[in-house]
Amino acid sequence: MKKLTHFMLLILPAFIIFSCEQPYTPPDFNTEPQIVIEGYLEAGQGAGIPYVLVTKSLPFLTEISPGDFDILFVSNAVVAVSSDGKKVPLTQLCLNQLPEELKKQAAIALGLNPNNITANICAYVDLLQQIKPQIGKTYDLEVLVDGKTITASTTIPNYVGLDSFRWTDLPGEPNDTLAQLLVTINDPPGKNYYRYFTAQGDESLIPPFTSVTDDVFFDGKEFEFPLTKAERRGGDFDPNSFGYYTRGDSVTIKWCTIDKAHFDFWNTRDNGANSGGPFSSYIRVKTNINGGLGIWGGYAVGVTKLYCPEK
């Protein structure tokens, strides 16, 4: 297969899709709260345990403080996951119920910053590990809350991993402390969707601002591209180091294959989060939740540990 090397191709699909996204104006900014689901299950090397967060939405123009987050979490839901005729109930677990060390581990498992938790976050988890997520299988979610049934379905697609990793110097001015990471993927023919996370040193894994891509420009080809380091939202922004890795430190890459509904959610969500400003349009985030908002998503995952060498 012809090898493509073009540093900007990874983000072009997102730009093209974003440019076609139609602005949406809510008919009423003061709508009734809806149930919001955020749940995931993973299959593969480095997979985490299945979990579901159940919260309530807020009106579009609501002002909120960190102390208000506790009231958003729904604690009276009945949550279950089904596959192949087997139905597994999930158990509610709240961070404030845990010792400090376990609290940090649970926060990391939920994709949270363990050093910046102010709310008593509650999740529904498979504590007994009865669910064994497998590639190619479909998993149905059922949430019963306040007399309402909310459902969703997701499939864990075949895993397409990264084949090679290499460190290179930054373009432009010489830099002895930072490096760029180039990775190669052999994309199989047919539509594929990807999402990734990075961490450096003892940081927790986080997704980049634009965290998903499809293979519209490299379908069925071997493709090399720069995998930018994810930066935490709200942190200090330095254009000279943004997206690059610090030399002399360890790096963790979590690369995932997802289905189309999962891709559509993150594609529109990232677009909305990245388009802030006084002249930005309201973006309607797509969802696969029946009777609510949010995402129930399956990941085929692979985790790679690297070392970014000193110059």
Q: Which of 124, 140, 156 is the last residue of a domain?
A: 156
Domain shared by 104 and 167, yes or no: no
Residue 151 lies in a domain: yes
State the DSSP code for 263.
H
Structure tokens at 149: 């049934």
What six digits make up the tokens of 217? 């420009």
Tell me which of 4-8, 165-169, 201-205 is least confident.
4-8
Same domain, 45 and 187: no
Q: Place 311 in a pLDDT band, splitting at 50, 70 and 90.
A: confident
Q: Are residues 231 and 135 in the same domain?
A: no
Q: Is the pLDDT of residue 5 over 50?
A: no
CA distance 109 to 149: 27
> What is this structure's pTM?
0.85
- Give 80-125 pLDDT, tens digit per residue: 999 999 999 999 988 888 887 787 777 777 777 777 666 778 899 9
Reduce the DSSP state of residue 273 to 3 states and report it: helix
Q: Quickly state the pLDDT bin for 57 (edges 50, 70, 90).
A: confident
Same domain, 132 and 270: no
Rounded to whole angstroms, the Cα distance separating 142 from 53 reads 13
Last residue of a domain, one of 156, 173, 206: 156
Decide if 177 is inside a domain. Answer: yes
User: Does 270 map to a domain?
Assistant: yes
Same domain, yes or no, for 60 and 119?
yes
Same-domain status, 301 and 184:
yes
Q: Tell me if 25 is assigned to some domain.
A: no
Residue-wise pLDDT tens digits, 120-140 = 788 999 988 999 999 999 999
Look at residues 120, 136, 156 and tell me which one is the last residue of a structural domain.
156
Residue 289 lies inside a defined structural domain of this protein: no
Domain with 99 in it: what CATH number? 2.60.40
Range of the domain at 127: 35-156
Residue 23 lies in a domain: no
pLDDT at 38 over 50: yes
**With 0-12 CB in 10 A as exposed, 13-18 as middle and 19+ as buried, what is 202?**
exposed
Please report whether residue 45 resides in a domain.
yes
> Are 193 and 304 in the same domain?
yes
Q: Are 184 and 162 in contact (CB under 8 A)?
A: yes
CA angle 27, 261, 268 (to 5 degrees): 50
Total domains in the chain come to 2
Residues 238 and 265 in one domain: yes
If we measure between CA atoms, which residue out of 54, 51, 31 comes closest to residue 145?
A: 54
Is the model more confident about 99 or about 151?
151
Examine the pLDDT at 16 and tell me if it is beyond 60. Answer: no
DSSP symbols for 198-243: EEETTPPPB--SS-EEE-TTTTTSEEEEE-PPP--TTS---TTTTT
- Let me know whether 40 and 76 are in one domain: yes
The reply to whether 286 falls in a domain is: no
**Type of residue numbered 70:** D
pLDDT above 90 as % of the chain: 60
Q: 191 and 52: one domain?
A: no
Cα distance from N-terminal residue to C-terminal residue, the chain: 33
Please report how many Cα atoms fall inside a 13 Å half-sphere around the Cα of residue 181, on the Cβ side. Answer: 28
On whether both 140 and 179 belong to a single domain, the answer is no
